[in-house]
Amino acid sequence: MAFDERLAARVQKALAPRRNVTERKMFGGVCYLLDGHMACGIVDNKLMVRGAAEDTAAWLRTPHVKPMDFTGRPLKGFVYVEHGGTKTAAQLKQWIERAAAFAESQPPKKNVKR
């Protein structure tokens, strides 16, 4: 699986204070789950961010943000953030916090491995 390992290391560092994070290989990259709910990930050289559909519509009006079209059709609630949107630690943290807030707002999953 080829994905931007430097970006993955930055995401891991941003998520490090949380104790509810697991990492899983998905979508040809790596995804980060909080209490079993997907929050974000790295696909190729892009940050993948999950959020509520009503939030992602607004996010798509932000520079460097594109629909996640992994299957050829945009996935609801997912966007790609290209390199220009994650250059600084502050930019990356903002996206990570958005994804984490959404994941942590989901109902608890049963049998989550930690």
Domain of 37, in residue numbers: 5-105
Residues 6+ apart with CB under 8 A from 92: 10, 11, 14, 47, 86
The structure's pTM equals 0.90
Q: What is the dihedral of CA 32, 99, 5, 66, to 10 degrees?
A: 130
pLDDT of 89 above 60: yes
The pLDDT value given to residue 31: 96
The first and second tokens of residue 82, run together, are 């290209």
Is 111 part of any domain? no
pLDDT 10s digits, 30-51: 999 999 999 999 999 999 999 9
Give the total number of structural domains in the chain.
1
Q: What is the mean pLDDT of residues 97-107?
A: 95
Bridge partners, residue 41, by sequence: 31, 48
Q: What is the mean pLDDT of residues 7-36?
A: 93
The pLDDT value given to residue 41: 96
Is 16 part of any domain? yes
CATH of the domain at 31: 3.30.1460.30
Is 75 part of any domain? yes
CA–CA separation, 114 and 97 (whole Å): 20
Where do we find the tokens 């699986």? Answer: 1
